[in-house]
A and B are shown apart, each in its own frame.
Chain A
Amino acid sequence: MASVEIRDVRKAFGATQVIHGVSIDIADGEFVILVGPSGCGKSTLLRMVAGLENVTGGEIRIGDRVVNDVPPKERDIAMVFQNYALYPHMTVADNMAFSLKLRNAPKSEIEQRVKKAADILGLGHLLDRYPRQLSGGQRQRVAMGRAIVRDPQVFLFDEPLSNLDAKLRVQMRTEIKELHQRLRTTTVYVTHDQIEAMTMADKIVVMHDGIVEQMGAPLELYDRPANMFVAGFIGSPAMNFIKGSIKVNGKAVFKAEGGLELPLATAPAGADGRPAVYGIRPEHFVIDAQNGIPAEVVVVEPTGSETQVFAKLGGQDIVGVFRERVTVGPGDTIPLAPNPELVHLFDAQTGKRL
């Protein structure tokens, strides 16, 4: 096992630069998730760590070795690909044993390692099958098995669950997390799914257009997003943003465009009159007949465990999520009160947290 250090790494394909100086520290044994929208450069970064892409600028270290010019096979990393990349002409056992055979490991050791990995992943009865004869989830497991038998310094995962159905995805999420708790191998995991990131990571790195927007523990990102991008990306449904300005007149309030007044617990010093964006998560509204602001319900979406209410609040489209059963229909009025303690304020120009 080893730490991974990414120092001001840049990547250009020809004239197009896709990674603009990214620095990430990954501690030994840590489970780090790179998350961001499609095309933001997550895979490219991961492939640079693997050695499948050249590094245009900056430095990547695995352990205490700079690996920029080390060929992939000498980096001692294992990767799980989105399409699994199983060798179709080899059985499950041969797929897992391939790297060991190339290393000329003794037969008994190969057998023992493959068996151990198969036991961990529950693949014992499938060892003689070919990849075509497996279901999606089983293939996914074989791909992980192939990584496990190597006992590498670092595991790299590139969207390993995105080809699975929703239920299996949830199950595999847990399995991968358990596996990491058991093996404690340093892991870098790429996904575009913020729920995956929130549920599995020790540390999340939110990327956007080739830069790191914010890095931190899942709840840190949820509680104190550094800017509007992270605030909107982490959490589902996404945070509501309302434009307006801060008014401090003894007590701080937020004056939204259109005249609506929203409560604030505090305001930054000297913020009176400052244009800003008011951010409130859907789950941080309460239905409060006394202090609530009347909102007109547009759509109600019950999921059983919670109810999502899409409404118009003083001309703004917002969504609220409630754990309790809400018995309203479209056209009804519902008194909504944002919890002022859980409000986020962002700069109107830069989108940075105030």
Chain B
Amino acid sequence: MSVSADTITAAPSSRWSLSRLAHDHNFLGLLFLLPAAVFLLVFLTYPLGLGVWLGFTDTRIGRAGVFVGLENYELLWEDQIFWLSVFNTILYTTVASVLKFALGLWLALILNERLPFKAFFRAIVLLPWVVPTVLSAIAFWWIYDAQFSIISWALQRMGLIDAPINFLGDATNARASVIAANVWRGIPFVAISLLAGLQTIPPSLHEAATLDGATSWQRFRYITLPMLTPIIAVVMTFSVLFTFTDFQLIYVLTRGGPLNATHLMATLSFQRAIPGGQLGEGAAIAVAMIPFLLAAILFSYFGLQRRRWQQGGAD
């Protein structure tokens, strides 16, 4: 034993360098990681860094700014409209996400049953997601039109209302309307992802639970839901991120109006930076979104952690 150990340690010392490095897992790992790291640095970190930097300057369009420290943030702290946009974003994200989750899960459960024309229905469900956002936003713009809204028209025909509904002109209506449009657009992602999750649950588990005496509600509560939680965590994190950073729908439908009632942080940031020309202030608003997004990502990190029952043992 000791002889062989000696030869192993003694021999390579003379010619370590390259051939040795080529077998070092850590070194190789770093080497292979390098292209991806450079890519990330250039295309992700640089713009992000630039944005953060801009937030500390008074840059305007066409005029390089100087470092102003926290001035932008101090201004925002006093800014009623900024705080309104924070409130709007949280309201929008919370209500839309809860609705998307509830309706998406419900739809996924229905689509997971044996039903005729299954493939057809699954394809239909995906439609809202396939249509480009701007296109569907324009469609909603028509649906919500103050005079030509099909909803108002139908309700009037049925005799339920006398005058067309002012969907986008009234603060509460406008908020509800943009949330409805976002939910319509976001449901397919949630429903199809959860459906994929449901299909990984072996049918025999449901059969076993049925024989154990579980009602369909109890099967949902004790089998489906716990087994679906890892996927719910991922799906809802993405859904929250998408919703929180939503821009297109709002910008086409309301541009933040009426009276900033539907201004989200993303739309306000754009409004201040590009049409308003205050790049520094716009950047500061965008940077203010980061803590919220980090919180969502942390939530997903803990949600994503493999639960104890998923660990250990090979099949």
Interface residues of B in 45-92 (CB under 8 A from A): none
CB distance from A333 to the nearest CB of B (A): 51
- Residue in contact with B207 in the complex, picked from A81, A89, A99, CB distance below 8 Å: A81
Please, which residues of chain A bring their CB within 8 A of the CB of B310? 88, 132
Please, which residues of chain A bring their CB within 8 A of the CB of B147? none
CB-CB under 8 A for A89 and B309, given A81-B207, A81-B208, A83-B202: yes
CB distance from B312 to the nearest CB of A (A): 5
Interface residues of B in 279-315 (CB under 8 A from A): 307-313, 315
Q: Do A130 and B312 have beta carbons less than 8 Å apart?
A: yes
Q: Do A87 and B213 have beta carbons less than 8 Å apart?
A: no
Q: Do A72 and B313 have beta carbons less than 8 Å apart?
A: no
A77 within 8 A of B: yes
Interface size classification for chain B = 20 to 34
A102 within 8 A of B: yes
Please, which residues of chain B bring their CB within 8 A of the CB of A85? 202, 204-205, 207-208
CB-CB under 8 A for A72 and B211, given A132-B309, A133-B313: yes
A90 within 8 A of B: yes
Q: Do A132 and B204 have beta carbons less than 8 Å apart?
A: no
Q: Do A99 and B213 have beta carbons less than 8 Å apart?
A: yes
Q: Do B205 and A87 have beta carbons less than 8 Å apart?
A: yes
State the interface size on chain A (CB cutoff 8 A): 26
Please, which residues of chain A bring their CB within 8 A of the CB of B202? 83, 85
Binding site secondary structure of chain B: helix
B6 within 8 A of A: no
Interface residues of A in 69-125 (CB under 8 A from B): 72-73, 77-79, 81, 83, 85, 87-90, 98-99, 102-103
Please, which residues of chain A bring their CB within 8 A of the CB of B218? 102
Q: Do B211 and A87 have beta carbons less than 8 Å apart?
A: no
Q: What is the CA–CA distance of A51 and B207 in the complex, to the nearest angstrom?
A: 10
A219 within 8 A of B: no
Q: Do A78 and B204 have beta carbons less than 8 Å apart?
A: no
Please, which residues of chain B bring their CB within 8 A of the CB of A78? 211
A134 within 8 A of B: yes
B241 within 8 A of A: no
**B interface vs A, CB < 8 Å?**
202, 204-205, 207-215, 218, 222-223, 226-227, 307-313, 315
Q: What is the CA–CA distance of A51 and B214 in the complex, to the nearest angstrom?
A: 14
Q: Do A132 and B312 have beta carbons less than 8 Å apart?
A: yes
Q: A74's closest neighbor in chain B, by CB?
A: B213
- Residue in contact with A72 in the complex, picked from B210, B307, B315, CB distance below 8 Å: B210
Q: Do A130 and B308 have beta carbons less than 8 Å apart?
A: yes
Please, which residues of chain B bring their CB within 8 A of the CB of A88? 227, 309-310
Q: Do A103 and B308 have beta carbons less than 8 Å apart?
A: no
Interface residues of A in 127-154 (CB under 8 A from B): 130-134, 146, 150
Q: What is the CA–CA distance of A77 and B211 in the complex, to the nearest angstrom?
A: 7
Given contacts A87-B205, A87-B209, A102-B213, 15 further A-B contacts (CB under 8 A): A52-B210, A72-B210, A73-B213, A78-B211, A79-B208, A81-B207, A85-B205, A87-B223, A88-B227, A98-B214, A98-B222, A102-B212, A102-B214, A133-B312, A146-B208
Q: Do A132 and B311 have beta carbons less than 8 Å apart?
A: yes
A 18-59 to B, binary, CB cutoff 8 A, 1 in contact else 0 = 000000000000000000000000000000001110000000
